[in-house]
Chain A
């Protein structure tokens, strides 16, 4: 007897793995499905008993039709029954797999053909939660969705190996930094230095979109983790328990001028000659010298004894001496608010950093040169201190530095561009700092203008929206984890979103950065530890 067999109406062709390689997964989804770049999918391999994870990197329309141009030469607007043959081809990059013991592994194998592709649940990410660090910055994101059960926390131990924050204006860089600071204040795992020439970090201001923002002082529960050094009035200082910022002349080295000004060869010769001379001596000398006596043909006639400062630069022409003199005069006058002959906050700053506090140097309305001046002085002194501490260890003693400090450099391309020897202190910090427990937090809108050698030292990348293709390529080429397949996601990152790649977390994590104001509001509601807690056992 002849019979008619119903063809299965259930469409099994969708959401099953058809990719062909270890590094490129592919599956198809219904043509009307809403999928997003960055969506994380799990691939359940029942044959091997493991679950793979992959992130969507590209979406394209495709069909089973032999005619590749069926859609461009359609003769009418209506189509019936497209669902089976017209679909979205989804390309995904593997993140890794979790074995039956819940252990995560790099994607060194391939899922079985036709493994089911599904949406992961919060429970699926338990392995990731366990591998996260301490410094919380946001929630994990899967495409447009936020996975609130998976907080993204950067491991504190990798931060002295430098961090880069890359974003164009308006992408939420300041919000990220404040959120990062709040977590650092809360956890107190290392010292964090921030120099703020705009006065935004202390008590907030306005975001680039014009919305009012809060400052670090508003994180009241974390206040113990914050030390502020400021040039603000005494009334303001008292209000927020801030310290007065002072740098003394001896904190200064003439080589700091090279960071602030483009020096000519002859000018640089003078800087070199005085490189070991104390700041107070140099400033005093140039305040009193008459540049017209240079070059000094007959030192004895002018009463200049051998070994004196004038003798050291006796062959310099009057012009370069005059320029250096003017630079120093401007430096002293321009920074009079905190730069003075005696009395320095630097020891106190170092102490706070070594007590793992966030140290905020608040110099509102002081301008870029003052910011760089303060930053270079403190960075140099941190490096000197940490170097001398390291020298103090014996040959068989543990060489790792006891103190960990992260120094933030905003618009880092100013001091870490390729080829500049004038910014030696920052370069040294980038190249050698990790040996002494000193890391840089490099913040820039133009990563392509940062020295490649510096980028190569960075182990933690926080990539926010980058519109420039050259910038994206530099970042993808420098990150320790492969970001090359995530270019579309980087390109389409929205404000407040980031991809965080760090050696502590097994794969680059798409993150929705906490809104600082919401984050500190939550943190402030957490009950503080009773001041008496621990006393019974402490004494």
Chain B
């Protein structure tokens, strides 16, 4: 009986997912959006020149019912023709999320990064979102710093879209875009996944990829996505990039969503795409720009790092008079106990 219910639930889930990705997804996409083979532009991988990639990382180190401790940092790696010339990270920043409604560390961190308080406070209600915004804050600071540092003609890659998730980041992203435009730096936001849908809920990336396969288009290629074909997007005023989908290597696992600042001119896009293809040939992750992979590896707050930080914090808490039992009551996770059995 139980087995039947379980298998029934699994089957129903599979049917629902299948409904959003139907067998004829590519055909429907072609029919609905009017995309043809000629809309796919072939890439010619080009020497990438100076490429800088920026990424951020956040981890919730401790969590109690009322308070969470987030650790955030961001990093950049810069390559000159695929030889790393420099990489750097921000210090690990600790931020408490709660117990107040508004985050107390956000204005401090923001001011530390940009020299003035944020235009809007950060709510602590959604811990994961709050931690993400804190990470974005240092990540945008690194991106802006690198936009100032890089020479003309460089390519600045950001892990994620050119769309902010918090209003206070909007002027920062605009400054970055303007700085890049002024210095003729190519700016691109690369996303491995996309929430973008069309036709009332069909996912964009598998539809584009399926259509390219149906048209027997060999990667690398890219295609511009007309915003008109997409379903409703939240906070369009925070969106500063034009959307492209690109498959950057024949052995790529799938396409990436690439956002390039609006209004930079169509002539610049092929050059950026060709340079992206030129740095996406690494045998470990073909189709993904290697500088972004390197930035991710540089910034990642791994379990080993977090274990070290947790140990250091425990020591300081003990010095501050919080004994182990109080710590366990505050932050102890019964799941840690459960996993022992």
Contact = CB atoms under 8 A, between A and B. Distances in A.
B87 A7 contact: yes
B282 interface: yes
Interface stretch (B12-20, B21-29, B88-96, B261-269): B88-96
Interface string B271-306: 000000001011110100010001000100000000
Interface string A63-107: 001000010001111111100000000000000000000000000
Contact of B251 (A2, A3, A70, A75): A75
Contact of B88 (A1, A5, A75, A78): A5
A283 B286 CA distance: 89
17 contacts: A1-B112, A5-B90, A6-B86, A9-B84, A9-B86, A9-B87, A65-B284, A70-B284, A74-B283, A75-B286, A76-B251, A78-B282, A78-B283, A79-B283, A80-B79, A80-B282, A80-B294
Give 9 closest A-B pairs by Cβ, nearest first.
A74-B283, A75-B251, A4-B88, A78-B281, A76-B283, A76-B286, A6-B88, A75-B286, A2-B113
Nearest to A83: B84
Interface in B107-142: 109, 112-113, 138, 141-142
Contact of A80 (B82, B87, B138): B82
Contacts of B194: none
A497 to B, nearest CB: 38
Contacts of A65: 284
B249 interface: yes
Given A4-B89, A80-B82, 15 more contacts: A1-B112, A2-B90, A2-B109, A2-B141, A3-B90, A5-B90, A5-B91, A6-B88, A7-B89, A75-B251, A76-B249, A76-B281, A79-B282, A80-B279, A81-B294
Contacts of B286: 75-76
Is the contact region of chain A dominated by helix, strand, or loop, or is it mixed? loop
Contacts of B281: 76, 78
Interface in A1-59: 1-7, 9
Given A76-B249, A76-B251, A7 B88 contact: yes
Interface of B: 76, 79, 82, 84, 86-91, 109, 112-113, 138, 141-142, 145, 249, 251, 279, 281-284, 286, 290, 294, 298
Is the contact region of chain B dominated by helix, strand, or loop, or is it mixed? mixed
Given A76-B283, A80-B282, A4 B290 contact: no
B166 to A, nearest CB: 17
A67 to B, nearest CB: 9
Given A7-B87, A7-B89, A2 B112 contact: yes
Q: Which of B76, B84, B251, B283 has its CB near the most chain A CB atoms (within 10 A)?
A: B283
A74 B283 CA distance: 5
Interface string A413-428: 0000000000000000
A524 B9 CA distance: 95
Contacts of A76: 249, 251, 281-283, 286
A322 to B, nearest CB: 81
A4 B284 contact: no
A79 B294 CA distance: 12
Contacts of A4: 76, 88-90, 142, 145
Contacts of A3: 90-91
A80 B86 contact: no
A2 B298 CA distance: 18
Contacts of A6: 86-88
Contacts of B251: 75-76
A76 B286 CA distance: 7
A2 B75 CA distance: 12
A75 B91 CA distance: 35
A74 B251 CA distance: 10
B183 to A, nearest CB: 18
Contacts of B283: 74-79
A3 B84 CA distance: 20
Contacts of B76: 4
B106 to A, nearest CB: 13
B172 to A, nearest CB: 12
B75 to A, nearest CB: 8
A74 B284 contact: yes
A81 B290 contact: yes
A226 to B, nearest CB: 64
A81 B112 contact: no
Contacts of A7: 87-89, 298
A308 B84 CA distance: 99
B220 to A, nearest CB: 12
